[in-house]
C-alpha cells in the first residue's frame, strides 16, 4: 500500500515564542508523513515580495503556518502605529498571495486578541472581530491582523483557498521576550518582578487592575495550532484559549 504524500509545512516566524513551541511538539511526535521547516527573518524578509517568492520556491511547502509579524509592546505600538500597519500588511499579503500562487493546500495564520473591538460585550466570540474599532494604542497592528481574516475569506470566495486563522489569548512560555519595551504582558511582569527582587526596588504595575486577561501556555497553544492545521476545515477564525 502506497504511503500518503509527504506534507511540507513551512512555519514563518518559526524561531519565536510560538514557533519554538510548535517545533518542540512536532519533534516529539515525529510523524513520518510531515516535513517541518521553521524559518525566521534571517531566511527571508517577508516584506519583500521577491524574497518571499524565493523562500517558497526553495522549500516548496504544501502547508503554511504563518506566525511572522512585526510585533512589540505597548510603548512601541503607541509610537509606531503606521510602521506596524504597513509592515504587517506587506508581510501578510506576500505570504498569502505567494501561498495562493504556488498552490499551497492550507494556510493557518496567527491573529491576536487585540483585533477585537475596544468597546464590546463579554464573553467575546469570533463573530465580533469586525464589530467596532480596536483600541487606539495599537490600532495599526490590530487592523493589519484583522485584514488577514478578510483576505482569507476573499481568497476562499474567489479561488477556493483553504486559508484560515487562529486567535490565541495572551501567550507565555519558553523563548518569550522579556524586554519591557517589546515584550507582552506576562513576560513584562516577570521581568519587572525579577528586577525588583534583584535590586530591592518597588514593583510598579501599570493600569487599574480591573481588566481581565486570559493566558495560554505556548506548548498548549502549539498543540492546538497543529490540530487546526491537520483537522480544522473552516475558513472562519477560531479562538484558542
pLDDT on residue 181: 67
- Answer whether residue 190 is part of any domain: no
Residue 95 in any domain: the answer is: yes
Instruction: Determine, yes or no, domain membership for 154.
Output: yes
Is 41 within a domain? yes
The pTM score is 0.91
Give a yes or no: residue 43 inside a domain: yes
Quick check: is 185 in a domain?
no
Residue 2 pLDDT greater than 70, yes or no = no
Does residue 188 have a pLDDT over 90? no
Phi, psi for 36 (deg, rounded to 5): -105, 135
Q: Per the domain annotation, does 74 fall within a domain?
A: yes
Q: What is the mean pLDDT of residues 226-231?
A: 98
pLDDT bucket at 144, cuts 50 / 70 / 90: very high
State mean pLDDT over 219-236: 98
Number of folded domains that form the chain: 1
| Backbone Cα Rg of the chain | 18
Q: Please list the active-site residues.
A: 141
133: domain range? 7-176+215-240
What is the distance between the alpha carbons of residues 38 and 9, in angstroms, rounded to a whole number? 8
Instruction: Give the CATH number of the domain where residue 134 resides.
Output: 3.40.50.720
Average pLDDT for 86-94: 99
Residue 19 lies in a domain: yes
Interaxial angle between packed helices 81-101 and 139-159, expressed in degrees from 0 to 180 and rounded to the nearest 10: 20
Amino acid at each position: 500500500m502506497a504511503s500518503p504524500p509527504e506534507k511540507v509545512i513551512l512555519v514563518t516566524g518559526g524561531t519565536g515564542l510560538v514557533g519554538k513551541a510548535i517545533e518542540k511538539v512536532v519533534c516529539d511526535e515525529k510523524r513520518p508523513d510531515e516535513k517541518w521547516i521553521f524559518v525566521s527573518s534571517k531566511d527571508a524578509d517577508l516584506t519583500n515580495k521577491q524574497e518571499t517568492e524565493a523562500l517558497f520556491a526553495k522549500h516548496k511547502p504544501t502547508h503554511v503556518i504563518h506566525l511572522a509579524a512585526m510585533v512589540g509592546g505597548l510603548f512601541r505600538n503607541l509610537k509606531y502605529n503606521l510602521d506596524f500597519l504597513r509592515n504587517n500588511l506587506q508581510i501578510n499579503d506576500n505570504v498569502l498571495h505567494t501561498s495562493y500562487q504556488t498552490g499551497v493546500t492550507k494556510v493557518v495564520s496567527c491573529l491576536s486578541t487585540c483585533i477585537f473591538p475596544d468597546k464590546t460585550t463579554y464573553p467575546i466570540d469570533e463573530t465580533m472581530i469586525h464589530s467596532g474599532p480596536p483600541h487606539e494604542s495599537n490600532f495599526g497592528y490590530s487592523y493589519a491582523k484583522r485584514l488577514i481574516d478578510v483576505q482569507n475569506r476573499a481568497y476562499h470566495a474567489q479561488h477556493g483557498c483553504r486559508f484560515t486563522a487562529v486567535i490565541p489569548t495572551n501567550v507565555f512560555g519558553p523563548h518569550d521576550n522579556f524586554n519591557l519595551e517589546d515584550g507582552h504582558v506576562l513576560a513584562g511582569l516577570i521581568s519587572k518582578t525579577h528586577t525588583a527582587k534583584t535590586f530591592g526596588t518597588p514593583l510598579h504595575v501599570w493600569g487599574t487592575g480591573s481588566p481581565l486577561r486570559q493566558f495560554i501556555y505556548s506548548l498548549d497553544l502549539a498543540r492546538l495550532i497543529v490540530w487546526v492545521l491537520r483537522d480544522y476545515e473552516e475558513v472562519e477564525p477560531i479562538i484558542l484559549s
